Structure 1
């Protein structure tokens, strides 16, 4: 599809048809990158997306034991600091 650059203040932009926005699953924010000289737009992925399901799956499989001890206390925790 051929599109024209439009002037937006001191920048330029591209209008995306709503059908393309829906098909790509775009929200209000996008991830924009340049790959091999091409502009790539992708839905913004949230860093913790899917964690809830992964935790439930781990618990169901019995793979949810803590990796760290309940307490990480050290000797110096009970001592007063000298300045």
Structure 2
């Protein structure tokens, strides 16, 4: 179910603005200084982040691999069962 919050358009210098409640920013994982795009769709204004989700992850994982820092942290805890050995196709 979507979160709905009522707010007002306010004067900010020579422009208008909308205060976005912290609750909404947390739900979309945005920081308070997040850069966003404003998109007009019919009679709605839509906010979108300017960055792609998981942007930079590929390069970070490659760097981790090159440094040998890509091992499972709980590798010694994970154990296989007889089902893993007998029934699962690896």
Taking structure 1 as the reference length, the TM-score comes to 0.52
Higher relative contact order (CA 8 A, sep 6+): 1
Deviations 1:4-57 (A, max 9, x none): 1110011110001101001012232112111122100122224x925726xx6x
Q: Distance in 2 between matches of 1:5 and 1:22?
A: 21
Which residue pairs with 1:22 in the alignment? 26
RMSD over aligned Cα, in angstroms? 2.5
Query: What is the count of residue pairs matched by the alignment?
Result: 54
For the pair shown, which has the larger CA radius of gyration, 1 or 2? 1
Q: Secondary structure at the match of 2:26?
A: helix
Q: Runs in 1 of length 4+ with deviation above 4 angstroms?
A: none
Which residue pairs with 1:77 in the alignment? none
Query: Which of 25, 37, 42 in structure 2 is aligned with 1:36?
Result: 42
Establish whether residue 6 from structure 1 lines up as the match of residue 17 from structure 2.
Answer: no
Taking structure 2 as the reference length, the TM-score comes to 0.48
The 5 Å alignment of 1:48-67 reads 49=55, 52=58
Structure 1: stretches of 5+ with no match in the other structure: 57-83
Which residue pairs with 1:63 in the alignment? none
